[in-house]
A and B are shown apart, each in its own frame.
Chain A
């Protein structure tokens, strides 16, 4: 069927900020969809609140709105744009939920707007547990015995009936937020109550547990002519019980016989047909490992995280095809973009194995509960491709960029047998390493299967790896062994560890022995047809298919998995760098390991290598491609950390020289630079032993800021006020102290700001200054920020510009750098320099219209700023105001303190733009889900040191029309100052006929919690408990008074004054 001509303008809804359960994959799918729709000649209106995305680039859609994804805000856009249709299936759960609420307001009917892709009825059928159950019953498809409940009592009664364990699945929550497995009454009561609270419709499904079943996923597509097909099947390494987003996944399915595979394929196709989805859909199934019995777990009637993975795993661009189907094209008339010769109606055949491993944030949150269950906790994921499953798994492990680079984990080796077994039974992020350790200790496949319920076939992959370790150990410098183990994905570094030598020696030996990687193409068809896909992976086989072209090329290193501190912003910069390289006439080659991103869409670059970003893997590609040089400035800390080693291996690192990078990152060298330039910085010292740290702190004077050197997103950074706190800090960060020196800085009070500067060695362009809303002490990634600065005088700005220029030129920056400043007593102090693109690059690029990563790339490749039409200095400020607000995923992570400090905790960000600061603020808060009603109550739980500061703030809230609640101290202080504050009891305090803080929050009586009780960060402390309770009950929480002031300012602006006549 040809595409529809009755619609012209289509609105695409993005997925908003990155949070756990909804990450960069929707930037990838949204970007693809917008491009596909425009390719077909439709006018595309895009709305997304996340500025850090490629999809919000003005060239991706005809009209881009970076506005909050709320019904109100999107309705406003609809009233201006009059779209004919909305495509809601590419913006994740956010997009679907928004489409549903828009429809409820009646605006879709009013404007005669059609929903493309999935009809409302289908969304409801797939998302509403009862309707889903009805549909399954009608189709005669089995689902686990279950019941939807609206109260905890109902939940308990039903569990009594079907027996424990049961699973709680709250309705309409993202990534299964608030759900969990319950073994008994107590757990169920707790989890069900929480789940009901989080569900926007106060519904939970209580479900019989099918733990231990194989978990299988099918990515299926359907068009309006009811043609259906499977793009990819996937099998979870971990059986049912762990959220699929937290499971290790292999594709295609590995342990299903054809009969089982075809049975589940039939089910998946029946479901997509029954739901009449026009586009892509994800079906999750559970298969009994001992019979043909299966259950349908869930259906996602939209493009999902799994579909992004499936697209990268097969090469088949699901989102692009889904968008084309949504406008009426059918699969048999769309060409398969991979082969260019066959049609989109084609089930890909793989001739490799794909492994996905989630990337969890527990390195940043050492106190978090690491147990895996039905609530997803990973922030990102890595994918790898190999010709053996062992190879795929080992490559994925070293792509994770965690402490372990292989399955030999010192932590696991130290564990007692008892602890090891506990780790096997209760899955955490590190279970894989303990499985390997169990085999090293002689556990049998049956024993490990008994403990983990993981399939024997999968377990044997790990066992095989451990057996190969022994073989490697036994045969040092044996070429045959080397050749053999390379096929199973052993890195040079791991082999070096086992041979007691250096990775460099192994590399040299390996090259002498001619054991070299070959690169194979991902072509959707297992080589049956010729294709031209520039998409490769390494393996140790006989034929290499990746042929170097005669064109000069430049290699860009991506940023790996999404994690806290290194998010989608760096993918944005990577993609822009690629574009600039191409514009200058080079071939752009990308290496990356993250399946969720735009940069790993093979149509973005001239050549894509889906590879781990380790020295060995990068050098291998370089040796094959012999690029003119490598660009490391855009892939975050991942890429920049490779720079020195690459240079040591004779690779040309383009842009700022490695020695100069070092001068910015090495403390002592940097101090020299600052001193020579006559700039100011907080006094800072380096110490390598615990004693020395304490001594230094005393010398500088408390409070001091302590952190390990070479940090990523402020890992393990803390402000300490006295020696006790310092001792605590050192205890928790022993590892950091051993690996790297500890930095001790004076902690200055003041406003922070940051700049990104592009320098060609001579001229320095500052696209803009971003002023942080929160004062020093909150990590720049977690603070709200505003452009242009609202409280800096021209003189301060001039100081900032001058300092930036001096630093850029002196550090011989060629390309881009980021500098953080603090303004203390009208003086500008330099906090740190990052000799690479920072997370503010997309934000500032969008605001100023300067495509910063592109300009920087062109400079790196030899252009001058003058060539490119830019003058040195601060770029003229725009009239409109833009506010960045961080977004957190605390509700997904147990035992993580939400108190903001120098350690970064946010997972994403939104932007609010308007003509006044207050309106921009209000939009940023709305985008970050901090929407407050016109009136309500604020609970103030304030650290005693903040009492004096809180008075004006409390007054403001009171004037806006908010009631105030506080505990005795704060309440009497504020009441004494003429405010009406209702006193509540402290936690556990009784008497006075008052409820306590937690009861107040639980009863939904506070619409906002302001909590600055920061220095009691123990999990058991009151401050922590209050914050946790607010998050559990979805009550907006603010932990910095600066943020609260900004919020009050924003709210004030939308409130009428109530002045008495005089």
Chain B
């Protein structure tokens, strides 16, 4: 079935529909990762976004139970150059197309995704619609133009109730702003007894649980819309070891007086080199963010910059000068992407252990 991708600048890309037959609107963004389409689609940070894969072939190894990053993905669509006819993997449980259909996510294949990517690169992220070829295009464009991209998305993707992910070592609270399962996997690997709280969690809610540390998860949208979270962080960071990832990093920055901004087309992919300022060590990192911390807004009395992107010098990591609190813009939990920075979870564990020792001493 012929389907179109409409962009707010009036461009029409024609292709073949696959996945769900539904129509949708969203912010069109591209990712340059060459593997990990399942992880990307199920990453809640892509909520409300239409995801363009620059890798020309998608779906080659199907979809499997292990690689979900969330159970109910909220991404608005998938645009690719070619979707595999046959997928092959010993772990495969369904094809990518079947999976998208089940998740009610529409896809279009046969698009010149390189042309589209270049457009997004030069124009910046745009609004877009996935529609049927038979649709009334004028009407569709009217609707697209009328669509206001909602950046207040966390409420849609966060858990509404607290739930545990039991372990027998450290007690960690994860605040879910659109949590990727990979973060839970990393905590579980380190034996954490984790409780996941909804995004609305207050400092009081957290203190009640007496955790050893708090992790602020990744998530979609504009961090500034989460004013209550910012307040919560200001309280919690004084008392508990704190680790922010992606959106969690931006919230941590805002809580400490820094500012954030919307990037032209963001960082999405996993070949972004980041340099650790203290050591010069470089890690390739998995990234998915459209907002970033403004470098000139950082109060050097409060925060140290710990990581920067090698090429465009985006702020990629912060550490509090006085408190046991730090954050990174990238995903040390990978999935998809390289594991180069997964020792940050060990740092977090260490921070927790030191604090515990201090308390016990």
Contacts and interface: CB of A to CB of B under 8 A. Distances in A.
Nearest to A263: B339
B36 to A, nearest CB: 3
Contact of B114 (A255, A262, A460, A543): A543
A445 B310 contact: no
B337 interface: yes
A445 B86 CA distance: 10
A346 B114 contact: no
Given A331-B282, A332-B275, A351-B56, A527 B89 contact: no
A528 interface: yes
A252 B32 CA distance: 13
A604 B336 CA distance: 37
A332 B282 contact: yes
Given A257-B91, A258-B337, A527-B114, A353 B56 contact: yes
Given A345-B310, A528-B54, A265 B338 contact: yes
Interface residues of A, number: 53
With most chain B CB atoms within 10 A of its CB, the pick from A261, A455, A527 is A527
- The B interface is mostly helix, strand or loop, or mixed, namely loop
Contacts of A289: 90
B35 A526 contact: no
A343 B57 contact: no
B151 to A, nearest CB: 23
- The A interface is mostly helix, strand or loop, or mixed, namely loop
A388 B81 CA distance: 8
Contact of A520 (B36, B114, B280, B284): B114
A225 interface: yes
A525 B32 contact: yes
A257 B310 contact: no
Contacts of A332: 273, 275, 280, 282, 310
With most chain B CB atoms within 10 A of its CB, the pick from A254, A262, A389, A520 is A262
Contacts of B24: none
A241 B33 CA distance: 30
Given A254-B60, A342-B311, A349-B54, A291 B115 contact: no
A225 B279 CA distance: 10
Interface of A: 225-227, 229, 252-259, 261-262, 265-266, 289-291, 331-332, 341-343, 345-353, 387-389, 445, 455-457, 460, 464, 518, 520, 525-530, 541-543
A254 B57 contact: yes
With most chain B CB atoms within 10 A of its CB, the pick from A258, A261, A351, A518 is A258
A291 B85 contact: no
A388 B310 CA distance: 32
Contacts of B61: 255-257, 457
B35 A346 contact: no
A230 to B, nearest CB: 8
A530 B87 CA distance: 33
B89 A257 contact: yes
B283 to A, nearest CB: 9
Given A229-B284, A291-B90, A387 B56 contact: yes
Contacts of B87: 457
B131 interface: no
Nearest to A456: B88
B34 interface: yes
B310 A350 contact: no
B167 to A, nearest CB: 22
Contacts of A456: 86, 88
B329 to A, nearest CB: 17
A227 B57 contact: no
Interface in B127-156: none
A388 B82 contact: yes
Contact of B113 (A349, A351, A455): A351
Contacts of A349: 32-34, 54-55, 269, 271
A257 B67 contact: yes
B118 interface: yes
A467 to B, nearest CB: 9
Given A351-B54, A351-B56, A460-B86, A258 B32 contact: no
A457 B284 CA distance: 29
9 nearest CB pairs, A to B: A258-B36, A543-B115, A460-B86, A526-B54, A258-B336, A456-B88, A347-B271, A542-B112, A349-B32
Contacts of A343: 273, 310-311
Contact of B273 (A258, A262, A346): A346
Given A257-B91, A291-B90, A389 B282 contact: no
B282 A345 contact: yes
Contacts of A526: 32, 54-55, 114, 117, 269
